[in-house]
Structure 1
Amino acid sequence: MRRVLALLGLLVLILAGCTSHRRDAPEPPPAPDLTSAPVAVAVNPGPFEAGPFGAPPTGAYLGAWIKPDELTHVGRVAAVDGLEEELGRPLDIVNTYRRFEQMVGTESDAEFLAKGATLMVSWATGDNRSILAGEHDRLIRQQARAIRKVGQPVLLRIRWEMDRPNLRATMWSGEDYIAAYKHIREIFAQQRVENVSWVWCPTAEGFVRGDAPAFYPGDDQVDWTCVDVYAGNLFQPIGQLMGPFLQWAAQRPKPIIIGEFGVAKAWGSAGRAAWLRNAAETFKANPQIKGVVYFESNPEGNGPKQQFQLAGDPPAFDAFTRLTKDPYFNPG
């Protein structure tokens, strides 16, 4: 019995020794303080020459891309109508994506325009060097005529996010992009297109890296500067994520549109709601921002850090709804 008790005592000492030397798991890094003052650097007061789609004197227009269940006329209209019904207000801007060969002026485009929305066309133009070689001139002329036929102001994003590293094989360089951009503009001018506001829209990350400005075509070529910004892989306040862009844009006499913004599902309902509340205050603190467009979509195949749909997440959606009902985002 004494031998058993001795063995038990030894075992207790061994376990106690192991416990005393065990290292505690490191504490997770603290969440960023989303209640801190917004970054207010885009303070160019204007006035701005924004092209046919003019900037509001005060406040900012509100828009969205809403991924439809089906990429059909009925699906597109149902997606926009559904979001507008839940928000209790119409969208000022409807973002729509087009491949190079897809023309503007579809049945759903016409319906959005008839309801008073402005189209923001995100046009995925092709290889810049093939554009410069004239290989796509006929297609570009066709798109120019299609947009002219719309007869209302259109925001046109020529190959948005052109600074993404995964697009370098078709963008080639900033110089190639700028030359192709100007080539497209020249063809539109030849087709007497006068209803386009030209939007230049790189990524917020491109300004953090420092390579996005090399793609800027120039103040004489751009009507609206733009940025796409997400709390995806990083959960930081939107003002921090796009701070380098805002500092750059403040030096230019152009209104700003946030072409895409979103907060990922991975950050949880409370975190997403806080992020959106902070986004609203940041937009309002930067009077040069004249339009904001949410990316209401969960792209297929993406993990939770790249899923941004707010529908189905009541706390986050409520925060977005409050943003949309703020008089600042209803400039009239």
Structure 2
Amino acid sequence: MARNIAYVVLIVGFVLANSSPASGATSPVRKTSAAGACLGVWQPGAPWDMTGLARFESAVGKSMAIVMWYQGWGAANAPFDATILRAVADRGSIPLITWEPWDYTGGVDQPTYANARIVAGNFDAYITSWAEGLKAHGRPVLLRFAHEMNYRSYPWSVGANGNTADSFVAAWRHVHEIFSRLGARNVAWVWSPGVKHDGTTPFASVYPGDQYVDWLALDGFNGGSALPWGGWLPFQDIFAPSHADLAQINGDKPMMIAETASVEQGGSKAAWISDALLTQLPGSFPRVKAFVWFNENRAGEADWRVDSTPESLAAYATAAANPYYGPCAPVGGLGRRAFFPIIGAGPQGFLQRSNGSSKSSSAETASATARRSSSFSRQSAS
């Protein structure tokens, strides 16, 4: 999780939608100018255990349009499980699956999960099982594959296990092509680097190409004085430079903040939240259609939860109640123009899609939590 704290807020500012008829043909992307955003959350335990998520939503006074979680290929819960997808969808939320090719217990140096082995087909059976399962699910899914590839924090990262920028792109395309070939058209692909720092891999070199990506996303955190990197940084300082770089890569696709949060130490977290949600996103980041909060208290690191103090909780709840943020409700169905959520009463869907393209256990929760810790370290390492 190091700097991989993914909090996704779906914002409808520059709305993009694409229909996908059942025949398999695709219609041109439709652009709209509806303004607004949807909110999402990573809540430890969910979706296997929804208790914490229910508490979060009760505290902030809003149902989350997006529920994000981490799914490792080498985890005990790695096999596709339709029940957890249904649990998320049936509550009116869209799954945002951070799909990680690694064993979270093994650290960065895992040659088993090198890009070259993915391209060579060593994981094709596993990838196929997920593609078939998600297709059968038939409802909207956001798939965030191999995030923060620009940090040397994971086995798929550039610089780890013999990986290069080209090998990452090849691995991404290989996985995407399996889904495309099997017709998993309800899956939208989220390309999600971490915000840039000195020494990180340039975004453009690891971008798979417009036909392989539906959403552009960023991860970034305000570690304040609680962590040894960065210092107290406003939302704009964290995201604006990287947001500008993504806009140069593609001028149309919707963007999301896939992981973000702030600590209390070093400034006013409540003011940071208010500024991010009520000033920066509506005013300076109109293409951001989703905003996901990393709602975890990491022992020995930082308390990223929105309710770390009553003031911070009040700031988030006030922002979430603003008409800019929803309501967001899934509409339509597979192959229909607006089958992803819409904001407010407008007719536009916010999801851009490319052409051609329940059991709860302590082990599963621990697995997801451990993954998070690995990513935060990279914010300092890079």
Q: Which moved more, 1:154-163 or 1:229-238?
A: 229-238
Question: Root-mean-square deviation (CA), in Å?
Answer: 2.5
Hey, what does 1:79 align to over in structure 2?
52
Structure 1 pair 180–248 and aligned structure 2 pair: CA distance change class (3 A): same
Hey, what does 1:187 align to over in structure 2?
178
Displacement after TM superposition at 1:177 (Å): 0.8
1:98 counterpart SS class: strand
Structure 1 pair 104–59 and aligned structure 2 pair: CA distance change class (3 A): farther
Mapped to 2, the partners of 1:197 and 1:259 lie a distance apart of 14
1:97 paired with 2:53, answer no
1:119 counterpart SS class: strand
Q: Normalized against structure 1, the TM-score is what?
A: 0.77
2:256 counterpart SS class: strand
Mapped to 2, the partners of 1:197 and 1:267 lie a distance apart of 37
Displacement after TM superposition at 1:237 (Å): 1.0
Mapped to 2, the partners of 1:215 and 1:206 lie a distance apart of 15
Question: Match for 1:204 among 170, 189, 195?
Answer: 195
Cα offsets for 1:216-237 (capped at 9, x unmatched): 1111211110000110133111
Q: Which moved more, 1:172-181 or 1:108-117?
A: 108-117
Query: Is the 8 Å Cα contact of residues 171 and 177 (structure 1) preserved in structure 2?
Result: no
Mapped to 1, the partners of 2:136 and 2:188 lie a distance apart of 15
Structure 1 pair 171–146 and aligned structure 2 pair: CA distance change class (3 A): farther
Structure 1 pair 321–51 and aligned structure 2 pair: CA distance change class (3 A): farther
Hey, what does 2:246 align to over in structure 1?
249
1:328 paired with 2:287, answer no
Hey, what does 1:110 align to over in structure 2?
86
Q: Which has the higher helix share?
A: 1
Question: Match for 2:215 among 219, 224, 234?
Answer: 224
Hey, what does 2:301 align to over in structure 1?
303
Mapped to 2, the partners of 1:181 and 1:171 lie a distance apart of 16
Displacement after TM superposition at 1:208 (Å): 8.3
Query: Is the 8 Å Cα contact of residues 77 and 108 (structure 1) preserved in structure 2?
Result: no
Mapped to 2, the partners of 1:326 and 1:115 lie a distance apart of 22
Hey, what does 2:282 align to over in structure 1?
284
Structure 1 pair 215–144 and aligned structure 2 pair: CA distance change class (3 A): same
1:165 paired with 2:156, answer no
Question: Match for 1:135 among 119, 122, 132?
Answer: 122
> Which amino acid in 2 is paired with 1:111?
A
Unaligned runs of at least 5 residues, structure 1:
1-44
1:66 paired with 2:43, answer yes
Displacement after TM superposition at 1:47 (Å): 5.5
Displacement after TM superposition at 1:81 (Å): 1.1
Query: Is the 8 Å Cα contact of residues 80 and 129 (structure 2) preserved in structure 1?
Result: no
Identity %: 26
Query: Is the 8 Å Cα contact of residues 203 and 245 (structure 2) preserved in structure 1?
Result: no
Cα offsets for 1:294-318 (capped at 9, x unmatched): 0001234x423xx312224111111
Displacement after TM superposition at 1:244 (Å): 1.6
Cα offsets for 1:266-285 (capped at 9, x unmatched): 336xx111111111111111
Query: Is the 8 Å Cα contact of residues 310 and 316 (structure 1) preserved in structure 2?
Result: yes
Q: Pairwise mapping of residues 35-50 of structure 1 onto structure 2 (< 5 A)?
A: 46=14, 48-49=16-17
Cα offsets for 1:42-77 (capped at 9, x unmatched): xxx75535688x999321111000113xx783xx21
Displacement after TM superposition at 1:119 (Å): 0.4
Query: Is the 8 Å Cα contact of residues 51 and 197 (structure 1) preserved in structure 2?
Result: no
Q: Report how many residues are paired.
A: 279
Query: Is the 8 Å Cα contact of residues 50 and 197 (structure 1) preserved in structure 2?
Result: no
1:154 paired with 2:141, answer yes
The structure having more radius of gyration, on CA atoms, is 1
Structure 1 pair 171–317 and aligned structure 2 pair: CA distance change class (3 A): farther
Unaligned runs of at least 5 residues, structure 2:
1-12, 21-29, 102-112, 224-228, 327-342, 345-382
1:165 counterpart SS class: coil
Q: Normalized against structure 2, the TM-score is what?
A: 0.68
1:160 counterpart SS class: coil
Structure 1 pair 114–177 and aligned structure 2 pair: CA distance change class (3 A): same
1:205 counterpart SS class: coil
Mapped to 1, the partners of 2:253 and 2:38 lie a distance apart of 15
Query: Is the 8 Å Cα contact of residues 163 and 206 (structure 1) preserved in structure 2?
Result: no
Question: Match for 2:309 among 308, 313, 321?
Answer: 313
Displacement after TM superposition at 1:156 (Å): 0.5
Cα offsets for 1:86-118 (capped at 9, x unmatched): 122211000011001524445333222101100
Q: Which runs of 4+ in 1 moved over 4 A?
A: 49-52, 206-210
Mapped to 1, the partners of 2:17 and 2:128 lie a distance apart of 25
Displacement after TM superposition at 1:324 (Å): 1.1
Higher relative contact order, structure no. (Cα contacts within 8 Å, ≥ 6 residues apart): 2
